[in-house]
Homo-oligomer: A and B are copies of this chain.
Amino acid sequence: MNAIVLSIGDELVLGLTVDTNSGWLSRELAAIGWNTARHVTVGDDEAAIHAAIVAAAPDCDALLISGGLGPTKDDLTREALARALGQPLEINEKWLARMTEMFQKRGRPMPPSNRVQAMIPRRAEMIANMAGTAAGIEAAMPLRDGGDVCKVFVMPGVPNEMRTMFQRSVAPKLAGAASGATILTRTLHTFGLGESAVGEMLGGLMERSRNPTVGTTVANGVVSVRIAARSGSRREAEETLGQTVAQCLEVLGDLVFGAEEQSLPMVIAELLKKAPVRRVGTAESCTGGLLAKMLTDIAGSSQYFQRGWITYSNEAKIELLDGPARIIEQHGTVSEPTVIAMAESARKKSGSDFGLSISGIAGPDGGSTAKPVGTVCIALADAQTAVARMFSFPGNREMVRDRSAKMALTMLRYHLLGKTMPF
């Protein structure tokens, strides 16, 4: 069964408010076996709302509308729906009485403008609102071809009123109609390879005709793999989802650092806190504190992180190293010997098991032919040894800094796993 989600409001279409309703509704719909075919957003304009309803109805089994049910002149959803249904608006005495009572309880007379909130199209049904004066509307819209109808549900735009109404009054009706179909999803996260390289590893798993489907997305350098299983039976969806997840994990191996809400800092925290707890100290140049900030994103991080240095200038680096300036003079600040010395110092001075260090050219200035913007050296030291790597990250200053800190965490992650980094 296909749904379309229609959101109404000038503030949404002007981009002044982020629309969280559409995404929330899609997730709830998926959980009860409904597929969301599209989201549409229009402003507080009767003609636009009417056109959107008329265009959406033939393409779906249920049209979920939110917004435009308030008492003011810019709330026009009920008028547009009535016109789309070809029915007049009529007062719903039950809701009028309920609203009057709500105002009485608050010791205020009901303003005349609220009366419009009890108007619904003839033959439609009112949906009670537990948290406000905007009643919802349920209607059946006949489609030109044949006896099919599109179910229409109108809910308030205020997120908590919409959510309560959907869960109490709309979801139960849709769950019945879906007759058991389920969509289950699982998202795996990777860092270190580009989207195309991950896509090539997945190969045939990404065929569009497959069920479960496998897709990739990138956000802040993290390439995520999303697996979605659709089936008439929940058990079958769970089974096929599990199978495809296992296939993806087999292909991607340790490249997958986590799933769903897990971030790199969370995964590092879990690995470091595993008995015996191990600690890490940091020394950062171009990232200017971002690596330490990521390590301390997690509550309880004092167990594994206690001390970090931001050595943005050469003098600061020399002082941290507690030794001669020779290494920096000889190899430059962005060099493997320099970051190794920084990581070893950070480890010793912080009394940690590991030292992580970063020095690079975040840009936009400071690049050279030999070391262009994006050149970043990262080192990891433990009690026995230290390794350094030179990377070339694409993008602007913010991206270079973000990828550098994530790559440092990734080097530590592979080390904690006892594995070799595959890139």
Contact = CB atoms under 8 A, between A and B. Distances in A.
A400 to B, nearest CB: 11
Contacts of A111: 194, 196-197, 200
Contact of A16 (B39, B185, B295, B372): B185
A332 interface: no
B18 A207 contact: no
Which of A73, A133, A219, A315 has its CB near the most chain B CB atoms (within 10 A)? A73
Interface stretch (A19-27, A165-173, A410-418): A19-27
A175 B386 CA distance: 55
Contacts of A198: 72
Interface in A380-423: 392, 394-399, 401
Contacts of A55: 55
A309 B306 contact: no
A287 B200 CA distance: 40
Which of A102, A218, A291, A362 has its CB near the most chain B CB atoms (within 10 A)? A218
A169 to B, nearest CB: 16
A211 interface: no
Given A27-B14, A27-B16, A296-B288, A199 B113 contact: yes
Interface residues of A, number: 116
Contact of A305 (B14, B196, B297, B312): B312
Which 8 pairs from chain A and chain B are nearest by CB? Answer: A288-B296, A289-B289, A15-B23, A289-B292, A15-B26, A72-B199, A308-B310, A306-B313
18 contacts: A14-B26, A15-B26, A17-B23, A19-B22, A72-B216, A74-B213, A105-B372, A113-B199, A131-B394, A132-B394, A282-B310, A287-B293, A288-B305, A289-B291, A299-B363, A306-B313, A307-B311, A308-B312
